[in-house]
Protein backbone atom coordinates (compact mmCIF):
# COMPACT_ATOMS: atom_id res chain seq x y z
CA UNK A 1 0.00 0.00 0.00
CA UNK A 2 1.93 2.98 -1.22
CA UNK A 3 0.17 6.14 -0.15
CA UNK A 4 1.88 9.48 0.20
CA UNK A 5 2.49 10.10 3.90
CA UNK A 6 1.64 13.75 3.32
CA UNK A 7 -1.86 12.75 2.29
CA UNK A 8 -4.13 12.83 5.35
CA UNK A 9 -5.72 9.53 4.28
CA UNK A 10 -2.39 7.74 4.80
CA UNK A 11 -2.80 6.95 8.49
CA UNK A 12 -6.40 5.86 8.05
CA UNK A 13 -5.34 3.39 5.36
CA UNK A 14 -2.59 2.00 7.60
CA UNK A 15 -4.89 1.61 10.60
CA UNK A 16 -7.66 0.07 8.48
CA UNK A 17 -5.28 -2.46 6.97
CA UNK A 18 -3.87 -3.39 10.38
CA UNK A 19 -7.26 -3.82 12.03
CA UNK A 20 -8.21 -6.28 9.31
CA UNK A 21 -4.85 -8.08 9.59
CA UNK A 22 -5.00 -8.53 13.36
CA UNK A 23 -8.70 -9.44 13.30
CA UNK A 24 -8.00 -12.21 10.81
CA UNK A 25 -4.98 -13.39 12.83
CA UNK A 26 -7.30 -13.75 15.83
CA UNK A 27 -9.76 -15.72 13.69
CA UNK A 28 -12.56 -13.20 14.17
CA UNK A 29 -15.18 -12.11 11.68
CA UNK A 30 -16.11 -8.45 11.40
CA UNK A 31 -19.35 -9.23 13.19
CA UNK A 32 -17.54 -10.98 16.05
CA UNK A 33 -15.20 -8.01 16.45
CA UNK A 34 -18.18 -5.65 16.54
CA UNK A 35 -19.70 -7.76 19.32
CA UNK A 36 -16.53 -7.20 21.39
CA UNK A 37 -16.54 -3.42 21.10
CA UNK A 38 -19.14 -0.75 21.86
CA UNK A 39 -19.53 0.08 18.16
CA UNK A 40 -21.66 -1.36 15.40
CA UNK A 41 -20.91 -3.98 12.78
CA UNK A 42 -21.28 -1.28 10.12
CA UNK A 43 -18.57 0.74 11.89
CA UNK A 44 -16.14 -2.17 11.62
CA UNK A 45 -17.00 -2.66 7.95
CA UNK A 46 -16.55 1.05 7.26
CA UNK A 47 -13.20 1.25 9.03
CA UNK A 48 -11.75 -1.89 7.47
CA UNK A 49 -13.00 -0.91 4.05
CA UNK A 50 -11.48 2.52 4.51
CA UNK A 51 -14.84 4.11 3.76
CA UNK A 52 -14.82 6.04 6.99
CA UNK A 53 -11.93 8.39 7.60
CA UNK A 54 -13.08 10.00 10.79
CA UNK A 55 -12.92 7.32 13.46
CA UNK A 56 -11.67 8.37 16.86
CA UNK A 57 -8.85 7.23 19.06
CA UNK A 58 -11.53 5.80 21.38
CA UNK A 59 -12.65 3.48 18.57
CA UNK A 60 -9.03 2.48 17.87
CA UNK A 61 -8.41 1.81 21.56
CA UNK A 62 -11.56 -0.35 21.82
CA UNK A 63 -10.57 -2.37 18.79
CA UNK A 64 -6.97 -2.86 19.98
CA UNK A 65 -8.23 -3.97 23.39
CA UNK A 66 -10.69 -6.42 21.82
CA UNK A 67 -7.90 -7.81 19.63
CA UNK A 68 -5.56 -8.11 22.62
CA UNK A 69 -2.87 -5.91 21.07
CA UNK A 70 -1.14 -2.64 21.91
CA UNK A 71 -2.67 0.38 20.19
CA UNK A 72 0.59 1.42 18.56
CA UNK A 73 0.66 -1.77 16.48
CA UNK A 74 -2.27 -0.44 14.47
CA UNK A 75 -0.16 2.53 13.36
CA UNK A 76 2.78 0.58 11.95
CA UNK A 77 2.97 0.56 8.17
CA UNK A 78 4.38 -2.83 7.23
CA UNK A 79 5.06 -1.53 3.72
CA UNK A 80 7.43 1.07 5.14
CA UNK A 81 9.62 -1.65 6.66
CA UNK A 82 10.56 -3.00 3.23
d(CA 16, CA 12): 6
pLDDT of residue 1: 46
CATH annotation of 9-76? 1.10.260.40
Integer Rg of the chain from CA:
12
d(CA 50, CA 53): 7
Give exposure, 31-41, as e/b (b: 16+ Cβ within 10 Å).
eebbebbebee
The model's pTM is 0.87
Query: What are the domain boundaries of the chain?
Result: 9-76
Per-residue pLDDT of 17-66, as tens digits, reads: 999 999 999 999 999 999 999 999 999 999 999 776 788 999 999 999 99
Amino acid sequence: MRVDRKNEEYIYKVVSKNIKKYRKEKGLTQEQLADLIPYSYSTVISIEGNYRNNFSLAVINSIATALGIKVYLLFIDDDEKN
